[in-house]
C-alpha cells in the first residue's frame, strides 16, 4: 500500500521544489537504475584509466597496437582522461555532462585505433576486437547520457553544471503516519540525529535557529548554524545554513497526505556544498559516503522508527531489530506498535 502511494505521489506536480533543481520525470526506480549504470561506467573508467597509466605496454599488446613511445604517451593521456571522467561520474552520477564527455573520449579511442591500423606492426584482428568493445561501451554511454537528460538535465544544462560545487539530493518515502505526527517529530530538530546517521547532535537555540554538528570523512566533524526560512505547520519546512558554516546547505521537507488518508508522502530536497567543493564531493563519493544513499537510508530509518518504534539493521546474515531511542515526552507522537514485531535480545 505504501509503495502504491509513493508511486502515485511521484506523478504529482512538483512546483514547490527549490528553484534550479531538476524536475523528476521518471520514477525513482528508473532513476536508481540509471544511476547504477552511471556508477558502473564511472568505475569502468577508473579501472581502464589506471591500466592505461600504469601499464601502457600491456594495454598496447592487448589491443594489438605497436608498443612505441608515441602510443605509450597517447595511452597515458587517455588514462588521465578516463580517471577524470570516472571520478566526475562518481561525484555527480546524475549529471549527463560526464556521460557525453565519455562519448567524446570513446570517439577519440576509435580514431586512435583506426589510425594504428595503418602500421605494419599492428595486429588487425586485435584492433578490430578492441574497436568492437569500444563501440559497445559507446552505446552504453549514449544510452546513459540520454536517460540522464530525460531525468531533467539537457545536454547543455548538464555541461553548464559539470563543475558545480553543489550536490543536490532528492528522496521520497511513504510513511504510515499522519502529516501532523511526522511534522511534529521533524520540527524538533533535536530528533534528527535519531535517524540521520551523519548527525551527532542538533542544539535548538530558538524557534528559528539551531546549531548542527555532523560527522565528516576521516573521523572529523563539521558544524554550522541554520535558520528556518519557511514553516507551514504539517505541510512544508525549509531551512538554510548561515554565514560561516563549515558546510553550506539548504533544504526543504514536504509533508503530503497520501491518497485515501493512508499516511504521508514525505519529500526531502537538499542542496549542499561539501568541504573542499568539488574535491570534497569526489572524496565523499569514493569513500562510500554518497549523499543520495545517506538520505535514502536515513528516511528508511525514520519510517521504521515512526511506524514500529524500532530500526532494523543487518548483522552478518541475520536481520535484527533494535528498539529506537526513547521518545522525549515533548515530541512523542501517538505510535501503535504492531503485534507481530519482535525485538532481538542478547540471549539469541
pLDDT string in tens for the chain (348-residue length): 545 554 544 454 444 444 444 444 445 555 666 788 888 888 999 999 999 999 999 999 999 999 999 999 999 999 999 999 889 888 887 777 788 888 888 899 999 999 898 888 899 999 999 999 999 999 888 888 888 766 654 434 444 443 445 678 899 999 999 999 999 999 999 999 999 988 999 999 999 999 999 887 667 888 999 999 999 999 999 999 999 888 888 999 999 999 988 899 999 998 887 665 544 554 454 444 567 788 889 999 999 999 987 666 544 333 444 444 444 444 444 443 333 333 344 444
Grid cell locating 347: 540471549
Grid cell locating 81: 582522461
User: Could you tell me how many helices (H) and strands (E) the chain has, helices first?
Assistant: 10, 9
CATH number at residue 269: 3.30.530.20
d(CA 233, CA 55): 60
In a domain, 292, yes or no: yes
In a domain, 340, yes or no: no
* Locus of grid cell 552478518: 316
Question: CB 81: neighbour CB atoms within 10 A?
Answer: 20
Same domain, 62 and 207: no
Same domain, 139 and 192: no
Alpha-carbon torsion 8, 10, 15, 16, what sign? positive
Task: Give pTM, 2 decimals.
Answer: 0.48
Q: Which pLDDT score, from 0 to 100, does residue 151 have?
A: 62
Q: Which residues, 6 or more positions from 347, have their beta carbon under 8 angstroms from its beta carbon?
A: none
d(CA 108, CA 128): 15
In a domain, 128, yes or no: yes
Same domain, 232 and 287: yes
Same domain, 98 and 232: no
Same domain, 169 and 278: yes
Number of domains in the chain: 2
- Domain extent at residue 234: 2-16+165-323
Same domain, 169 and 147: no
Same domain, 42 and 134: yes
- The count of residues in the chain is 348
Same domain, 291 and 171: yes
Q: Which pLDDT score, from 0 to 100, does residue 80 have?
A: 92
Comparing C-alpha atoms, which of 79, 158, 142, 83 is closest to residue 107?
142
Q: Which pLDDT score, from 0 to 100, does residue 93 have?
A: 78
d(CA 107, CA 204): 55
* Locus of grid cell 511513504: 174
The residue from 102, 121, 151 where one domain ends is 151
Q: Which pLDDT score, from 0 to 100, does residue 341 have?
A: 38
Contact 87, 282 (CB under 8 A): yes
Amino acid at each position: 500500500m505504501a509503495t502504491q502511494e509513493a508511486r502515485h505521489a511521484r506523478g504529482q506536480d512538483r512546483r514547490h521544489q527549490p528553484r534550479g533543481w531538476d524536475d523528476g520525470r521518471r520514477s525513482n526506480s528508473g532513476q536508481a537504475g540509471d544511476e547504477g549504470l552511471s556508477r558502473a561506467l564511472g568505475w569502468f573508467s577508473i579501472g581502464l584509466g589506471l591500466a592505461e597509466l600504469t601499464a601502457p605496454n600491456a594495454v598496447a599488446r592487448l589491443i594489438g597496437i605497436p608498443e612505441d613511445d608515441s602510443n605509450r604517451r597517447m595511452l597515458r593521456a587517455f588514462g588521465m582522461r578516463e580517471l577524470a571522467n570516472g571520478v566526475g561520474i562518481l561525484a555527480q552520477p546524475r549529471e549527463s555532462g560526464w556521460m557525453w564527455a565519455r562519448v567524446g573520449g570513446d570517439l577519440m579511442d576509435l580514431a586512435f585505433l583506426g589510425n594504428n591500423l595503418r602500421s605494419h606492426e599492428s595486429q588487425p584482428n586485435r584492433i578490430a576486437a578492441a574497436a568492437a568493445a569500444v563501440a559497445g561501451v559507446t552505446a552504453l554511454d549514449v544510452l546513459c547520457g540520454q536517460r540522464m537528460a530525460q531525468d531533467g538535465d539537457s545536454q547543455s544544462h548538464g555541461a553548464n553544471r559539470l563543475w558545480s560545487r553543489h550536490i543536490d539530493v532528492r528522496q521520497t518515502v511513504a510513511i504510515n503516519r499522519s502529516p501532523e505526527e511526522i511534522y511534529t517529530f521533524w520540527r524538533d530538530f533535536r530528533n534528527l540525529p535519531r535517524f540521520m546517521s551523519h548527525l551527532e547532535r542538533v542544539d535548538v537555540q530558538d524557534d528559528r535557529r539551531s546549531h548542527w554538528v555532523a560527522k565528516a570523512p576521516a573521523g572529523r566533524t563539521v558544524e554550522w548554524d541554520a535558520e528556518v526560512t519557511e514553516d507551514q505547520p504539517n505541510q512544508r519546512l525549509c531551512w538554510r545554513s548561515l554565514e560561516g558554516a563549515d558546510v553550506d546547505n539548504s533544504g526543504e521537507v514536504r509533508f503530503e497526505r497520501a491518497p485515501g488518508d493512508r499516511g504521508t508522502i514525505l519529500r526531502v530536497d537538499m542542496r549542499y556544498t561539501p568541504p573542499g567543493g568539488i574535491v570534497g564531493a569526489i572524496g565523499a563519493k569514493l569513500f562510500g559516503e554518497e549523499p543520495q544513499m545517506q538520505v535514502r537510508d536515513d528516511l528508511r530509518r525514520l519510517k521504521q522508527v515512526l511506524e514500529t518504534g524500532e530500526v532494523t539493521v543487518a548483522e552478518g546474515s541475520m536481520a535484527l531489530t533494535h528498539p529506537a531511542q526513547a521518545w522525549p515526552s515533548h515530541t512523542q507522537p501517538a505510535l501503535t506498535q504492531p503485534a507481530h514485531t519482535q525485538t532481538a535480545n542478547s540471549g539469541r
